[in-house]
Copies of this chain bind each other. A is one copy, B any other.
Amino acid sequence: MKANDLLPIGDLARRTGLSVSAIRFYEEKGLVEPHRTAGNQRRFLRSDIRRLSFILIAQKLGLSLSEIEDALAGLPQGRTPNAADWKRISGEVKQRIDAQIAALEKVREDLDGCIGCGCLSLKKCALYNAGDKWGEGGSGPRVLR
């Protein structure tokens, strides 16, 4: 094994495709905790490449950074997420996706029922009321972009 496996931020950026500023931002949010050199420069562990890759993937699946932080809470800094971790975390993610698909299918169904009716009657329109239901939870899923 090589003596010095610590990466400066620019290298990590190149390895993950993230911008340097984004990595610094993630540190601020507590998602990574690099060491520092005597001169105050960040030095990351190799395992942080995967950690950040995981963040990227989870984000694309629609999780917010704070949700990702929760998901990563079980992983000590410096340990690469392994197959078991990934299974646990992706299981949670899958549930979210399932719920999201179900919600959208419900909407589509209501929409089908509504096309041609044109009522837009508040309190009576299924669509409107369905919307109310899942529009209300302040922390509901947030997706795609």
Report yes or no: A120 in contact with B61, Cβ–Cβ below 8 A: no
* A77 within 8 Å of B (CB atoms): no
Taking residues whose C-beta sits less than 8 angstroms from the other chain, chain A's interface range is 35 or more
Count of this chain's copies in the oligomeric assembly = 2
Chain B residues with Cβ below 8 Å from A101 are 101, 104-105, 108
Chain B residues with Cβ below 8 Å from A94 are 108, 111-112, 115
- Expressed in whole angstroms, the minimum distance between the Cβ of A13 and any Cβ of chain B is 13
Per-position 1/0 for A87-116, Cβ under 8 A of B: 100110110011011011101100110111
Report yes or no: B141 in contact with A144, Cβ–Cβ below 8 A: yes
Query: Contacts A122-B17, A140-B144: A127 and B83 contacting too (C-beta < 8 A)?
Result: no
